[in-house]
Amino acid sequence: MNLILFGPPGAGKGTQGDNLANYYNLVKISTGDLLRKEIKKNNKLGYEIKYLVDKGSFVSDELIHILIEDKLKNRDYYNKLIFDGYPRNLNQAKMFDLLLAKYKQTLSCVISLNIDKEVILKRITGRQICSKCDQIFNKYYNIASIKKHKCNSSFLVTRADDNLAAIENRYDTYVKETSPIKKYYINQNILHEIDGSKEIHQIYKEIRTIIDSLET
Ligand SMILES: [Zn+2]
């Protein structure tokens, strides 16, 4: 079983991916990790990637393709991959299908964690930490009520986040790039959409229900 996890930054894709990889004995593949590992190798490809990343440029689809092929041809990982952050655009999705065919593997399902930009921003801006007991709350989703929190509310600190514009920007880019890919997988009948604003354990349960219902 190979699967893809989609979701905007802040949707909790990484956590879900790790938990699923553990539970189903899969190997999680994130292109970010692959690129960082390649740079560390100090070989020709690594230098090429470092040059692009340092310059702030995108790494080409062809280069990503090489790294993904390397994983798909590894027999230890045969039909055991969970992709996080890949494919990033329609071209990559099409190239990925060619690779799957080449190595006689299948993509069992694509899970999309859908979550509004407002919810992600509230998760970040609403975060409160108690300077006395270190408990973490959220002004919107996990209110520090008298029942939950014994310290005086004056100990609660909201951290200012200067990266809000960057987060919004990443979200918008994600939506723009992934909507054509989602259509592509809807047409293949393998896209499953989940409400990503729910609790982590609830989302995890829903994903497992989907995976368990697949014919393997
Ligand atoms: Zn406290």
Buried b / exposed e along 107-120 (16+ C-beta atoms within 10 A): bbbbbbbebeeeeb
Give the predicted TM-score (pTM) of the model: 0.82
Determine the distance separating the centroid of ligand 1 and the alpha carbon of 153, expressed in angstroms: 8
Q: Would strands 191-195 and 2-6 be described as parallel, antiparallel, or unpaired?
A: unpaired
Q: Tens of pLDDT along the chain (216 residues)?
A: 999 999 987 788 888 999 999 999 999 999 888 999 999 998 998 998 888 888 877 788 999 999 999 999 999 999 999 999 899 899 999 999 999 999 999 999 999 999 999 998 888 888 899 999 999 898 888 899 999 999 999 999 987 666 788 788 888 888 998 889 999 999 999 999 999 989 889 999 999 999 999 965
Q: Are 92 and 59 in contact (CB under 8 A)?
A: no
Distance 131 CA to ligand 1 centre (A): 7
**Environment class of residue 178 by beta-carbon count within 10 Å: exposed (0-12), middle (13-18) or buried (19+)?**
buried
Residues, Cβ < 5 Å to ion ligand 1: 130, 132-133, 151
For the segment(s) 2-116+162-212, the CATH number from 3.90.1280.10, 3.40.50.10320, 3.30.420.10, 3.40.50.300 is: 3.40.50.300
